[in-house]
Amino acid sequence: MARKKRTPRDVISRMHVQHARDERNDSTDTGSFPAVRRRPRLSMDGMLGRLTTTVLIVVLCALLGFGYAIQLNNKSSSYETMSEEELTRLISETSTQVQNLQQRKAELTGQLNSLKAAADKQQEAQRIARENEETSGILSGRLPATGKGVVVTISKGSKERVDASTMFQLLEELRNAGVEVMELNGVRIVTSSYVFDTKSGLDCDGTKIQAPYTLKAIGDPRNLQNAVDIAGGVGSRLKVKFGAQVTVTPSDSVDISQTRDVEQYKYAKTVE
């Protein structure tokens, strides 16, 4: 039996049918294996975009590495590329700068020391001036004073009235014992103080005072007390001759608040 001759159209039709069957078989889930889905094919534009991005990243990385390498080479070879003359000049300039800085440092140090010395001298001069002012103020009676000392109380004499010469002797004995400041019945005693007799008592620097007498004295309490109580001294004379009671009370805080105006001298002048 003779076979029927196939035409090209039959062949193409048969290929289409077989292709359709294959596609149906590929899309059928058998249950034993998971269905394999085909990845979507990239278009020409997407492939071109990815390729461009990759190329740019590679180029940027290369440029970054190249720049870093150049920087390292420059750091390590900044002086290596200099000539001998340039290196010599650089060393000379550096040495000159160091010498100038050291000289400037020495100058500033000298100025600082001078300022400190001047400040110290000025402070010392001010301190001495203050001390002298306080000392002269206390000695002249211009300033009040406080300190260790004694308080001497002399009652009215039972035999006779205490005279000015005995009171002045008491002041001199205390001065010899190292007294610094004294006050007699509210009158500040200074180097020019005087005492003389009146009908009712005594006159001290123009102020009339009467017994009992209270004499405040600042100085070494032991020395001042010995000056009054010494045997045969002024204390004994006050008791024996005048019949007065003499009490010497040491104290750690004798306050003398009475002051005197500065005496104006008519003939004496300060030597400059």
**b or e along 122-134 (b: 16 or more beta carbons within 10 Å of the residue's beta carbon)?**
eeeeeeeeeeeee
Q: How much is the pLDDT for 78?
A: 57
Could you tell me the two tokens for 136?
A: 């002269």
pLDDT digits (tens, 9 = 90+) for 124-143: 778 878 888 887 888 888 89
User: Over the stretch 227-272, which tens digit does the pLDDT of each residue have?
Assistant: 999 888 899 999 999 999 999 999 999 999 999 887 777 888 877 6
- H/E segment holding residue 203: strand 202-204
Confidence of residue 36 (pLDDT cuts 50, 70, 90): very low
Sort 170 into a burial class: Cβ within 10 Å, 0-12 / 13-18 / 19+: buried
Q: Which residue has the higher pLDDT, 205 or 98?
A: 205
**pLDDT at residue 226 greater than cutoff 90:** yes
Q: Is the pLDDT of residue 108 over 60?
A: yes
- Helix 164-176, helix 221-229: angle, nearest 10: 140
pLDDT exceeds cutoff 70 at 221 = yes
Judged against a pLDDT cut of 50, whether residue 2 lies above it is answered with no
Per the model's pLDDT, the better-predicted residue between 203 and 3 turns out to be 203
Instruction: Spell out the residues 6+ positions from residue 188 whose beta carbon is closer than 8 angstroms to its own.
Output: 141, 182, 256, 258, 259, 260
pTM above 0.75, yes or no: no
Q: How far apart are CA 181 and CA 143, in angstroms?
A: 10
Mean pLDDT over the full length of the chain: 79
Arithmetic mean of pLDDT, 20-38: 54
Q: Which of 43-47, 100-104, 139-143, 162-166 has the lowest mean pLDDT?
A: 43-47
Residue 171's pLDDT is what? 94
Say what the pLDDT of residue 73 is.
Answer: 58
Average pLDDT rounded to a whole number, residues 34-62: 60
Taking alpha carbons only, the member of 84, 104, 102, 103 closest to residue 92 is 84
3-state secondary structure of 127: helix
**Does the structure show a pLDDT above 60 at 215?**
yes
Q: Is the peptide bond before 212 cis (omega within 30 degrees of 0)?
A: yes
Distance of CA 99 to the CA centre of its chain: 34
Q: How confident is the model at residue 31 (pLDDT cuts 50, 70, 90)?
A: very low
User: pLDDT tens across 7-17, in order?
Assistant: 555 655 666 56
